[in-house]
Amino acid sequence: MSGMELVLILAESAVELVPPELTKHPSILKLAKKRGKKPSEILLDRSYHHAAMRSLKDAEKRGRPDIVHTTLLELLGTPLNREGLLQTYVHTVDNKVVEIDSNVRLPVNYDRFVGLLEQLYAVGKVPEAGQPLLAIRKQTLNQLLGEIKPSTTVAFTTLGEYKDLSRLCEELTKERKPAILIGGFPRGHFSKETLNLADRVVRIDREALEAWVVASRAVYAYELAIGLPKQRLR
């Protein structure tokens, strides 16, 4: 079934280490102490750092690693991924890219997922020795797309024209290497730079849905378009 692979990029995702301007804030110092880490070694997380984040630029798009956690759990468990036909990347708001081996089993527990990401930021890959299951590098979305070289890139956003998802996925099956961009953030929109990287910008519902709902539907629609459910029963 080669040639049917889908690339899914969670773009501008709300994952980053606590930025330098917040490392002295009491709520950050408290959590860092509790976790036995330096403030600069812990992930920014709105559920703990809400007060500290008030002064932060673009705060509405930052500090939500739970979005990436839930979406990755959903994506990695799909039949498309189990068939090795889904390549997932997380691009972050501070221009890092996490490359994910489709065989990785992520912790279901959120605190353990956060610990894993903090380890990844500290050492660059997990596990440290041998073939990495997760690897992080400094890279812009533009550079990532330049490396993947998709034949078409579709950005999902409520700013786009409405498109029936099953029809879109049928069109994508004719592509050599289609890529979908979904925002890994809770509110706000893709930057102009991100929108400019897309060949198409589509909206799939009247409302803004959560990233994991959109990712889940896109993958299922793509599975149907390539006939995967039937193929897996043969």
Cα of 40 vs its chain's centroid, Å:
22
Nearer to ligand SAM, 115 or 188 (CB): 188
Whole-number Å distance between alpha carbons of 155 and 201: 5
Residues 198-217 that bind ligand SAM (CB under 6 A): 203-205, 207-211, 214
Residue of minimal CB distance from ligand SAM?
183
148 lies in the site for ligand SAM, by CB under 6 A: no
Shortest reach from residue 6's CB to ligand SAM, in Å: 15
**What order of strands is seen across the sheet that includes strand 152-162?**
125-126, 134-138, 96-100, 86-92, 6-13, 178-183, 152-162, 200-203
**Where does 55-156 have alpha helices with state H?**
65-76, 79-82, 110-123, 141-148
Single out the residue of 92, 157, 194, 216 in contact with ligand SAM (rule: CB under 6 A). Answer: 157
Strand duo 134-138 + 200-203: pairing: unpaired
Shortest reach from residue 93's CB to ligand SAM, in Å: 12
Residues 169-188 that bind ligand SAM (CB under 6 A): 182-183, 185-188
Give the footprint of ligand SAM on this chain (CB under 6 A): 156-158, 182-183, 185-189, 203-205, 207-211, 214
